[in-house]
Structure 1
């Protein structure tokens, strides 16, 4: 079971790197998927949700594929 209390949402348009924001809503898959739907604006934008797993490791919540957890994600929680 993945801990959903530390999740970042990465969203943007086109090939731009995108904005990194912490998910501050309820720590449930339903709330995270609702946030991704809003971020995607009916297909005009892209968005991913990455959950923290361990030091330097994360997982894409929609695909269950491993992702890195760079320091920029940690900084999103401090801003």
Structure 2
């Protein structure tokens, strides 16, 4: 089971890089998926959620694929 206490939401429009924000809601998949739905605004925007695993490794909460955990994600969680 993935630790859902260190999750970032990355969202934006078009091909822009998007913004990185911490998920501050309940640490459940249901709450995170609900936030992604709101962020996507009915298809006008894109959004993804990444949970920290260890070191520089994260996991996409929608695809379960391992992804690179950027230093910017740590900064978003500590701001």
CA drift at 1:77: 1.2
Structure 2 gaps, min length 5: none
Rounded to whole Å, the distance in 2 between the matches of 1:19 and 1:33 is: 17
Aligned to 1:56: 56
Residue 65 of structure 1 aligns with which residue?
Answer: 65
Looking at structure 2, the residues matched to 60 and 20 of structure 1 have their Cα atoms a distance apart, in angstroms, of 14
Moved over 4 A (4+): none
Residues 34-79 of structure 1: CA deviation (Å, up to 9, x unaligned): 0000000000000000000000000000000110001000000121
Runs of 5+ in structure 1 lacking a partner?
A: none
Distance 2:50 2:15 in 1: 18
1:21-32 correspondence to structure 2 within 5 Å: 21-32=21-32
TM-score by length of 2: 0.99
Q: CA deviation at 1:14?
A: 0.1
Q: Paired residues, what number?
A: 79
